[in-house]
Structure 1
Amino acid sequence: MMAWRHVTPDDFPLLARWLAQPHVARWWNHETSAAAVERDFGPSARREEPNEDLLAFLGGIPVGLLQRSFLHDYPEYLDDLAPLTAVPPRAMTIDYLIGDAADIGRGIGTRMIRSALEQIWADHKDAECVIVAVHADNPRSWRALEKAGLTRVAHGEIAPDNPIDDRRHYVYRTDRPTS
């Protein structure tokens, strides 16, 4: 079973190590200095911004990072998505990474996404759906979304996280279960 907890400043060295891993750096494109990690994750750790950064644990060991937020809290991202697909007022989004390369290809990403969705439905009773844009050249990520039950609902151009990438993205969605 996957366990979750909010990122704290004590986790910043771990995040810096993960962000420096080639398989993460390729898609996240973050600076990894202590100051940069504090700048990028500190406000969330202190609950000063609306997104949530969570560590995923498997067997008590941290295996990944999940960011979740309501899309309406980030109008620039909402502006990118709205031309491609309908975005309900209480739509959420996620971003995620598997920290260590040894954990890639073991189904942990899919398990993490499934568990994250369960947590979203439990923690955010007003969340209508989860919409995720992923770069078209990142099949590991979009296949994990598909295996976790999300459906590709659109494709189009969105500003990439990494400036070496073009703007091609796939958009995935899952709605709150009705049962």
Structure 2
Amino acid sequence: MGLPAVELRPLRRADFPLLCRWLAEPLVARWWDDDPSPAAVERQYGPSVDGTDPTAVYLGVHEGQPFGLVQVYAFADEPESLAELSAICPVPAGALSIDYLVGEPEARGCGLGAAMIAAAVARGFADHPGAQDVLVPVALGNEGSWRALRRAGARWYAAGELVPDNPVDPPDHVVHRFTR
């Protein structure tokens, strides 16, 4: 059961209108409680595009068409996230994490999300040669997300309470782990 071919392309400002549309898409908005306005997208993603934020942000592309977004970052660059996750599980030195969304509704349920996740993990390991782990916390209720992680090769690592991305969610999270 192979995954479809997915390329990662760095996010560009020209992609911001597409990202605004994706963030407003109902299923994405349910789990990514981000403001989809152009000004908010610029504030959130502009620094990564400019290279002033160390988070790498990519579009997942299949057969020439972008379908999703994935961010790759080191926990060392996100001390609040590191502290919060460390309260429920060990975070190995140099660990990375990813955040992802499938913005095109027709791209869901066909393996593209899992393929984008696998590509992002491989890219993270290539760009951070000292990293041995990618830890990904996901709201327990977001079953599609953690199933995509497992399909991409992650294993369950921990469970506990974390501040949810969307304040309407309970704090229950599962953490999945990829190892080099």
TM category (shorter chain) comes to: over 0.9
Residue of structure 1 equivalent to 2:141: 137
Separation of aligned partners in 2, 1:34 and 1:122? 32
Query: Which amino acid is the alignment partner of residue 144 of structure 1?
Result: A
Separation of aligned partners in 2, 1:172 and 1:104? 20
Structure 2 residue 51 is matched with structure 1 residue 47: yes
Query: Which amino acid is the alignment partner of residue 13 of structure 2?
Result: P
Q: What secondary structure is seen at the aligned counterpart in 2 of 1:15?
A: helix
Query: Residues 18-167 of structure 1: matches in 2 within 5 Å?
Result: 18-167=22-171
The answer on whether the counterparts of 2:160 and 2:172 sit within 8 Å (CA) in structure 1 is yes
Separation of aligned partners in 2, 1:63 and 1:100? 5
Could you list the runs of 5+ residues in structure 2 that have no partner in the other structure? Answer: none
TM-score normalised by structure 1 residue count: 0.95
Residue of structure 2 equivalent to 1:7: 11
TM-score normalised by structure 2 residue count: 0.95
Separation of aligned partners in 1, 2:39 and 2:102? 22
Identical-pair percentage: 44
Q: What secondary structure is seen at the aligned counterpart in 2 of 1:149?
A: coil
Could you list the runs of 5+ residues in structure 1 that have no partner in the other structure? Answer: none
111-120 vs 59-68, which deviates more? 111-120
Structure 1 position 26, deviation (Å): 0.4
The answer on whether the counterparts of 2:84 and 2:162 sit within 8 Å (CA) in structure 1 is yes
Q: What secondary structure is seen at the aligned counterpart in 1 of 2:66?
A: strand
Separation of aligned partners in 2, 1:78 and 1:47? 22
CA RMSD of aligned residues (A): 0.9
Q: What secondary structure is seen at the aligned counterpart in 2 of 1:133?
A: strand
Structure 1 position 121, deviation (Å): 2.1
Q: What secondary structure is seen at the aligned counterpart in 1 of 2:153?
A: coil
Separation of aligned partners in 2, 1:13 and 1:28? 17
Structure 1 position 122, deviation (Å): 2.0
Separation of aligned partners in 2, 1:158 and 1:37? 24
Query: Which amino acid is the alignment partner of residue 90 of structure 1?
Result: G
Query: Which amino acid is the alignment partner of residue 142 of structure 1?
Result: W
Aligned residues: 176
Structure 1 position 57, deviation (Å): 0.7
Q: What secondary structure is seen at the aligned counterpart in 2 of 1:172?
A: strand
